[in-house]
Amino acid sequence: MKNQVPLTQRHDLRANSRIFCPYFWAAFLFSSMAVSPLAREAHGDPLSSAAAGSDTAPAASWVWRSGGRLNDARLNHTAALLPDGKVLVAGGADQRGPLASAELYDPATNHWAFTGSLHTTRQLHTATSLQNGLVLVAAGQSDGLLSGSAELYDPGSGSWTVTGSMNTARQWHTASLLQNGMVLVTGGLDSSGYTVSAELYDPGSATWTVTGSLTFARAYHTATVLASGMVLVTGGFNGSSVLNSCELYDPATGTWTATGNFTARWVHSATLLQDGRVLAAGGYNGSFLFSATCELYDPATGTWTGTGSLITARAQHVATLLSGGSVLVEGGNGNGYLASTEIYNPATGSWTAGGNLSIGRFLHTATLLGNGRVIVAGGNHGGTAAEPKAELGGRLP
């Protein structure tokens, strides 16, 4: 099949029993049901106030409530905020394998509803909100095959159209929206293993072109667009070792240059702060142990400095920049599936505990809504099943 290649090797972190749970081929259902905003307000829901979106109050005032229930339980999916404030969740996998279904979360009703399905089932893909309001979904894994196909979601019609295919099928890659409107995809796993290849998607021509290759092959890394427009790629894994190297991509020249190294880590998070620095948090370290260490990258000097450590060592968590400039870390894997959340204060360089999710989870998504709240959806919470429950987080007034 065009743009798909067999997975001749199992490049899946979950196969490593020292770190990950078994694969998820068993299903179960939860009895939690969505609760409307009006019903929550009538019962004194602390998220009913507009002040709940602020992140200037103490971290302990962050609380979680039901965010409804996905129609399809899923993990390894993507989530993208749409211009109208809704959240698009696409693909992923459940006990049946990769999914083609997609759903919309409406913050006004706290409910999920199906929208048009993808043309291709996929998990471990990327989703990027484009400047024209469409959402680009690219690559991933489909029914045991690596995919190079890409699709565009139109919020106006609720449908997907096939767009140009990538030159290299891959999974566990990154995708970044550049300031010029193009999308940069880097690294990941292709049919030969860990790759250095990078590609650019042009929404104007709906085509992909090869751009400069990474210096080091890597997957499970991060890519962050800096205020300057350059892209910072950090860490990852190359099949034999955890990487401490970091690289900068210059969209003007299509080339990569080395920048300062940090503490080797993979499946960590990297968040662009409001002051232009980048916060790297957690992940697995070079000894394949959960890490609590955190570092700050200064684009002006190209160097990393240590900052306060996470309260709980974790990997495969999600980090969300809140509207007030703090960083919220949710869930992840840390000698068990974590329900705990933590909030980083850039002014003090320290972490404080936030409210706990109702269940521990990883391989989930977390999306900042226009009202300042955060919707966490899907993932795995232990055992071998995908999760249908979503949770909505916000500050107490």
Which domains, from first to last, does the chain contain?
A: 59-395 (2.120.10.80)
Distance (Å) of CA 15 to CA 18, 93, 133, 286, 291:
9, 16, 37, 18, 20
Chain mean pLDDT for the chain: 87
Residue 99, helix vs strand vs coil: strand
Structure confidence at residue 137 as a pLDDT band (50, 70, 90)? very high
Q: Which residue has the tokens 């990538």?
A: 166
Quick: pLDDT tens for 368-384: 999 999 999 999 987 76
| CA pair distance 277, 77, nearest whole angstrom | 28
Amino acid at 370: G
Contact 26, 385 (CB under 8 A): yes
pLDDT at residue 40 in the model? 30
The yes-or-no verdict on residue 27 having pLDDT over 80 is: no
Instruction: Label residues 289-305 b or e (16+ Cβ within 10 Å = b).
Output: ebbbbbbbbebeeeebe
**pLDDT score, position 22:** 27
CA distance 79 to 277: 24
- Which of 124, 13, 137, 140 lies closest to 76 in space, CA to CA? 124
pTM higher than the cut 0.85: yes
List the Cα angle 339/345/348 in 5-degree steps. Answer: 135
- At 280 the pLDDT is 98
To the nearest 10°, report the CA torsion of 279, 90, 138, 92: 80
pLDDT at 28 over 90: no
> Which pLDDT tens digit goes with each residue over 73-131?
999 999 999 999 999 999 999 988 999 999 999 999 999 999 999 999 999 999 999 99
Show the tokens assigned to 182. Answer: 């193009």
Instruction: Tell me how far apart the alpha carbons of residues 280 and 309 are, in angstroms, rounded to a whole number.
Output: 10
Residue 239 tokens read as 């099949």
**pLDDT band at residue 246, thresholds of 50, 70 and 90?**
very high
What does the pLDDT look like over 177-186, one tens digit per residue? 999 999 999 9
* pLDDT score of 146: 97
Please determine, for residue 214, whether its predicted confidence score (pLDDT) is greater than 60: yes
Share of the chain above pLDDT 90, in %: 81
Q: Is the model's pLDDT at 30 over the cut of 70?
A: no
- The 8 Å CB, 24+ separation contacts for 105-110 are 105/67, 105/68, 105/375, 105/377, 105/390, 107/369, 107/370, 107/371, 107/373, 107/375, 108/37, 109/36, 109/37, 110/34, 110/35, 110/36, 110/37, 110/40, 110/66, 110/67, 110/68, 110/392
When pLDDT is averaged across residues 29-50 and rounded to a whole number, the result is: 32
